Each structure stands twice: as C-alpha cells, then as structure tokens.
Structure 1
Amino acid sequence: MDPRTSAQDVLRCDLCKTAVVQMHCDTCLVNLCTACVGKHMMSDESKDHKVVKFQSRKSTPLYPGCKSHSPDQCKMYCNKCGIPVCTKCLVSDQHLGHKLSEIVQIVEEKKDKITKELTELNETIYPTYHDIAFDVQNRMSQLEKEFGELSTAITKHGKDWHREIDKLVKELKAEIDEMKNTQLQTLQKHLDEINKTMSDIKEEIKSVEMAIETHDLSKLFRVASNVNRYKNLPQKLASTLSKFIPEKIQGEKLSKMFGTLSFSSLTSDQHGYSMKTTQKLPKAGSSPSVKQLLDEPETVTTIDTEYECLYEVACLNDKEIWTRGSGCMMKLYSINQGSLLKSITTKSGNMPSDIAVTNSGDLVYTDYWDRTVNIVKNEKIEEIRLQNWLPRSVCSTSSDDLLVIMYSDVYKQTKVVRYSGSTEKQSIQFDDKGKPLFSSGTYYRYITENRNLDICVSDEGAKAVVVVNQAGKLRFRYTGHTPTPKNKPFTPGGITTDSQSHILTADMNNGCVHIIDQDEQFLRYINCGLFRPWGLCTDTNDNLFVAQCRNKQVMKIKYIC
C-alpha cells in the first residue's frame, strides 16, 4: 500500500504486527510496542537487550563481542595490543600492566580520523581525480582531432601523388603517340616512293613486251631498257622500338619518397598531476561551506558607463571589468576609479550579443548577426564561424572550453554547444525522453558553469533556470521563489556562480538577484535598490557585479563573508 495515498503510514511492531511502535531494541535492531517488550527480552536471554524509546533508537553503543570470552562484550581497549578487551580479559595475566582506554573514546577518535579522511576525499582527492579524468577525456578528444588531421593529411598527399602519377602517365603516353606518328609518316613516305617505282617498272615491262612483239624493227631499236636503274634498290628503314623501363617498386624506398611518420607514444609522468589544496567539487553531505551569506548585502561601489543601455558585465580580474551595451563597442573599466581604460569594437560593426573572459584573460564575444564567436587575443580577433545556427550567449569554463547558447535560423530550436578552440566537443539540446531542454523563440538566455561543473542556463522563455550536469543530463529546473520583492513573475536574466557553488540569477522584473545552492535550494534575495538588473558576474573574492540596464551603472555588491 502506498503510504502517500494511505492512512497506513505509521510503523508497526515487528512482533505483533498490529500495535504502533513505541520502543526499540538497540541490541537486536527490532521495533517494539510496550506490550511486546517483555516477550522480546525473554526470547533470547543470552543477549543484553538495550530497549529504549523509539525516538532514542541507535543511541546505545553496540560493543564488540569478545573473541576469547563469548558472549561477553568488550567495553575497554588495550592500547598496547591494539584490540578490544572484556572484563575477563582484564583480570587475566595477558594484559597485565598494559595501558587501557574506554572503547567509546577509541571509537570517537576513530570517527574523528575517518571524518577528516572523508572530508579530504570529498573536498580534495575526489575533485582531483575528477579533474584528472576530465583532463584525460580532453586529451582523448584532442588525440581524435590530431590523428584525424594526420589521416586527412596523408589522404591528401596520396591524392597529390595520384594526380602527379596520372599527369606523368598522360605525358608518357603522349610522347609514345608522337614517336609513333612520326615514324609512321616516314614509313608512309618511303612506301609511297616504292609504290611509284613499282608503277614505273610495270610501265617499263609493258613497253618492252610491246617492242618484242612488234614487226616494226625501227621501234624495236628505239626501246631503251632501264633495268640497271631499277637494280639500285631503295634503302631499308630500320625501326628501333622504344621501350618502357619501369622503376622497380621498392616498398621501403617508396615509403621514404612518399613521406614518413614520426614516432608517437604515451609516456607516464608521475609528477604530471598534483593534489588539489582547495575544495573544487562540494558534495551534498560534505562539510559546510567555508563562507556564509551576509544578513544584509552591502553596496561597495557603483561604476557609471556611457552606454544608452547597459547589458553585460564580465570580470577580467579583481580590479577591471569588461562591459557591453547598446552599440558595437565593448569597454574595460577600472573598478576602483570607475574610469574607462580601453575600448574594443566588434569586427563586423554589429552589437555584440554577450561577452565573457577566458582563464587566460582573453575577451570573448558573440556576434549574433555575423554568426560568429570571437576571441580577442593581443588586439587581434579570432573567430569561430557557425552554419545554420545563431550564437547568443557565451561563458568560459574551468577547463578553458567555451559554452555557447545557439538558436536555429527560425528560432524553433535552442541548444548549448561546447567548443575546445574551434572544435565542437559537445551538443546539449534534449533530455532523456527526447524533449527540448530549453525553450524556443527569441527570448534572452544566459549561461555559466558552476564549480561542480554543472551547466546553468537562465531561460527567459521558460521562466526558469535550467541546470544540467557535465554530461548534459537534466538535474533540475528552478522556477523562482515566492513571494518576490515586487510580486511579479520570475524573469531570469544574467547568471553567474561563486566559490561556494551558489547560483545567482538576475530577476529583471522584480529588480533583485536570486541565490540558490547547487541543489536548487533557495537561499535569499539580493535587493540593494537594483534598477532593471541584467548581466551578472563575480570576482575571485565572491563580490557580485550587476549590470543595470536602465541607469547604465555597474553595482559592486558584497553578499558573502
């Protein structure tokens, strides 16, 4: 029977099966009603039954049984021998003069030790292995790319060889045709001369025969034979046939002529990885966060910008922030002085759709209309050009990949694509049931990566923050918290995270920022008189920067201690 739909939602006695549980035997781990307590204790008199109220269950320590004096329990611990001992062990000569401790004390010390080890496993060792696995996966992807490029280069070189061989064969065959035609023409001319001489000889024979047969002696005397002339036979033309002498195909020689592969291998470097010293991937149930939220967030400073409308902000470091607003220019401001330090214009002249900063400090911006993701390195702009998709928002990950939100041409589909350099590594679009993870249409959507490597997308169309894990599997959808400061529907805008894996989302309509933890739990609002908050970012000290659209100011807020 389902306890969610039935009144039978209380625990029943393990003995009578009918009465409500009121007691618990910590020795046998049995639930009992008061009426069955005596019966249970009489069922096995060899045991020391510890019956307590149900609410106090598991409060009685279960001492280990003595291996030498069963069924006695060991409540002491011999420090020299390193074993639990019972009272009979103590009166024997075996542990005479040995230092003893209460076993409860030893267990507490053991708990403290393994608790520290558990904390180290959760906060240091596991995150280190997680990053190592991610590094190996990246290397595997890179190897796939590099060996694919190598194979492509060899295939291209092979085609070049085929093309050159085909060209050489064609040239040799043309040379053969030319030699053949030249010799045939010479032989034909020689044949024509012989045929002409043969025709002359026939005429000569006919003339002589007629002279012999005639009775006109005068004609006979006029016949002059040219036999001697014809005895000089024509020259014989000797033909020397051309020969093709192929070069013997030698595999080793041919391989060297074609090209060689340098040796490739994987080597083990025992010093290649180092253990983390700070918490990277906090887990549920691990030690509490080092930093706590302030009771009242504090406005540290405001920075005036010169945009008509201000949309995004991205921290370059703890002293400088990049901003973008209406127009084609992205501006770098000093946080402390509030002064403009630098301006960069988009390559196309279009207004950028979003900005981010990589781990190495390079500015990244998306150009929606130009279909490009652009990386500014040393004042030069490198672009990733897209086909059939329009880039909207971008963030840089802990592994220095880029996560880009894209729309299809007709705005019917939305997806998140992970890039390593200009290579697409991952595409996230559907859940396990084949349904879209994100809304469609021209709504605003922003993206960030959490410290636990979750991918967090603020989806204005869905009025939700959609959180998927590193593999793209849906973890949860946060749809807001009530009541809101202005009692308006949740309208998520810019999104960012902090060192505690908190997820912070601008709520444009309610003029506030929502803070939730990595498991969707609402923590609090930040409402410091924000005026149409849009873009968000945090620095390394967990200060929050809010780009306010209407008053064109970036507000720096301290919300965590």
Structure 2
Amino acid sequence: MATTSDEQAAGQHFLVCGIQDCQKNGQFYCNDCHLPMCEQCKDEHRKSPNNKNHDIVFYRQRKHRLPIEKCKLHPTKNVDIFCKECKTPLCLKCFLTEEHKGHEFDDLEEIYAKKYALWQGEFSKIQKCFLPTSEDLKTDIKEDVKEIKKIMESIRTSMKAEAESLKNLVDEVTSEKLEHTHKMEKSLLQMLKSQETTYNDYMKYLGKMSDKFQEYLSTTNQKLLSSKMLKLNTIPETSKPVPPVFTPGQFNRDDVAKLLGRVNVPNKEPEKRKIQPMEAVSTPMKFTEKQIEQNKEKSDMKPTLSLSSSVTKVREYSVPGVDSAFHVSVGKSGRLWVSENNGNLVQKDLQGKLLQKIKTSGISESYHSATQDGGLIYTDKDEKKIYRITPDRKITEFIKTGDWKPISIHSSRINGDLLVGMRTDEEAKVTRYSKAGKEIQNIQRDNQGQELYKYPHYITENINGDICTSDYHKHAVVVVNKSGQHRFSYTGQGSEFYPYGICTDVLGHILVCDTVSETVHLLNQDGGFLSIILSEQQGIEYPRGLCVDDENNLYVGQCDTNTVAVYKYLE
C-alpha cells in the first residue's frame, strides 16, 4: 500500500491514491482510515457497509494523524485517549483501570487535530502576515528616506535661489538657514532609522517565535497538549515623518533675515503607517459530499502544465468594426474586445456578432482590459480619464488622472488592482489603483533615480506580481516587482527591438510582440529568452496584440487585418 506522508506529498506533482495498485491522483482523504484516495476508490470505499459513515474530505482539509506514542505504563499500547478529569493521555488499558472509572474521555486524535491546526494557524500568521507586513513597512521607511532627502534638497534649492537674487547681502543668513535644514534632516532621518531598527528587532523576534512554533509542532502530542499557548506580540506601530515645508519669503535690503524663507515642520499629527489587517488564517474545513461533487471539475484538472513541443492554431476570428487588431481583451464569457489604431473599440460574441462599438482616443496601445467581474475598463488619454463598462454594457466614468495621460491599462487577476501606464510631455510612470479607484502606488524611477519609462504603451502583470511593461520608445520590456523595484529589462535578440503587445501565462512566461522581426518572443519569469514562439511560419505576419484566456489559449491580434488568431502552446 502506498505511503502518503506530508514530506512525500510535497515532492510529488500530485498525491497518489493510497489504495493498493492504484496510481491515480489522490485528491480525497479518509480521516478514519488515514488514506488518500482518488475519486473512483473513494466511491468504492463508501459502498462498503463498514465504511459508509467514514469522514471523507478533500486532501487539504484532512485531519492530521495523531503521532504514535507508546504508553509508559503499557509499552505495547499506543496512547490515543484523553481523560478530561485527569487531563492526561491514556492507552486502552489505562482507560479500563479502576482509576479512571466513571471519568469523561475524549478522542485524543480529535484534540490533536484541533491543536495542530491552531498551532499551524499561529505559525502561518508569522509567515503570511507579520513577516511580509514588517518587510513592507521597512520598504515604506526607505521610500520615506528618499522622499525626505528629495524634499529637503528641493527646499535647499529654493533657498539658494532666493539667496542668489539678494547676492552678497544674504550670504551669512543663508548659510545659517542651510545649516538648520541639515539638522532637521538629520533629526528626521534619525527618527526613520530608529523605526527601521524597531522593525529589524521585531522581525528577529518573529524569527525566534517561528522557531518556537516549529519546535512545538514537531514535539510529541503529550508535550504539545501540556504546553501553554504562545502569544505573538503585535506589529509595532510607527509614524510617517511629517516633511518640512519651505515657505518663500519677501525680502529687501533693510531686513534680509526676516524676508528670507523659513523651514518648519507643519503643525499636524503624523500620519500613522498603514498596517494591513491580518487576514484570518482559518483551520481546515470539512467539505460535505455534495460540495465534493460540486467541485469535481476543479478536482479533475491536470496537476501540471508545460510548454508544448509545437504551437497549434485552434481557431480564428474575424472582428467586424475594426481594420486592424492592435489589442485584444478576452472576457469571462469568451467575448472579445478588440481595438484598432483609429480609436475604434468593439466587442463581439463567439459567433462573430458585433455587440458594441465605442469611439475612443486610443490608438496602438493596450488601453482596455477585461475585469474580474466580466466587465471592461478603458482609458481616454485626451480626456485624462478611465471609464468602466459593466457586464450589462453601461459605461461610467471611473477615475480622473489629473495632468497625466493614461495610455495603457491592465486589470489584475491577482487582486483586481488596476495598473495604468501614463505620461506627460516630459515624463512617464506606472500607477496602481485599487479596484475601488483609489491611487495606491506610483512607479517612475529605479534605485539610482533614473527614469524607468518613456512610453509604457502595453502593460500586464505576472503571476508573482511583477509589472511587465512594453515601452516602445525605450526599445525594451521593463519589469519591476510589486513594490516597484526594477528587476530587469529585456531588449530583444537583435540590434533593434520595438516591443508591442505583451501578456503572461499561468506558468509565469512573458510573451511579447517584436515589430522589427514581426515575431512573438517567449521569456521566462526572470526575463530569460526561451524561443520565438510565433512567426510567419505559423501564419502570423504583423503581430501587435496578445492575450491569454482562462483556458490557456493565446489570442494574437494583427496589424492590417481584423483577424484574431488563437493558438495552443501549453499542454
């Protein structure tokens, strides 16, 4: 009979059924027999009268098995009963003695499973919430350091400009005031350094607590049951610094010191750093037989996908209402949204019927994206607005982008956030909005202060949260992590590279169109070139727009034709 320990399961692509000679995927688990089972063996197991009341759940909701521990009084017997009055684990022989006659008992395995889940939950809080949140707060502090330095440098520049206009009369006063700003900056940076130290100390504490939890989880059940519950200290709160504000002054020859601008800290409460509420780390839930049947389709999915040895065209769509297909979005229903370089944005169904046509200011950019709720978002760069289309085709104004022209947009499949590539006449950036439309992040420069983008005209997100941007004017695919730190830039395989449409798939691959070679490049998650996945040999002439649907089909829009081709490249 196959063994199915957690250590073995972690190294497999899928769990093997524990019934003899069965090698199928054991996605179910019998808590009474402690065996993983495939669906067929699960059904057979239930048919036996002896097993009809067995508790069968999905493997991930299984009850953790009680570790084997021998009774100290009866070494041939296992401890598996808990006396509630004596508060001690017992074996069957202990249970039958006069000492415990009339006492109330519990199944030690049930108690162990609950305790295990509780300790595992606390351990998960460290791994899933406290550590990453503390790391994010440290990153926030580093950003504040940069911002404080930038603001203070801006203040010093303004002061120098005033001093220059007064020439020699203000030299002494300017020197004194500049020294004052350095002291203020030193004080603010010392405060931020202290906050960073606070989180370093707290993360060391979390590491120790994590080791304790792991130690407790690896102990015998008797030690685990007798241990007091460890409680975690909450994440320390810190405050964001209030940057000084420079107030320009009026000046004349009579009172230079009074007329020069002053530097002071605004009289307002410091803004508390935002600590995201901890998501509940739930204990395993039992699934009913009905729920198991309802999730059958999901359970039957193939455990792994890989690149196919060949790329196969599976269908082709002709899209009425456009002359070219510069960008493609695929909604939940399989309906296509396609845009051209003349501002037309159309929606069609699977039968080719035109459902909706909108006139926009977009051209050869990824200015629309299907959303998680089955709708669409699109940008209007002339109006500097983002619009939302509901599944019932109602169009509403969603976000105003101020002085920035939104040229590309992507709706995250991870959390529903909106990633928007924007620019002015002088600079460009990527902005993250929540799905409610609140601005939460701006990405513009790398760690050396250099501009990351020039014209981010196509944008997408990878499975690890990386933001992948196709920048035509930089001749590169620019990739940053979810915190906005630059990871890499891909500049093609030849002397010239002009990227257009870009998308990612469930394996973390990055696919991008190159308009020089008129091909589609396939990259790994870290920007390594893997292959030319589509070229003229596969019937593609001028690839411009890319999109992958929920069934891992690759949609390719082309220039000079309203045809969208669909390919299979994963198996």
TM-score range, shorter-chain basis? 0.3 to 0.5
TM-score normalized by the length of structure 1: 0.47
TM-score normalized by the length of structure 2: 0.46
The structure with more radius of gyration: 1
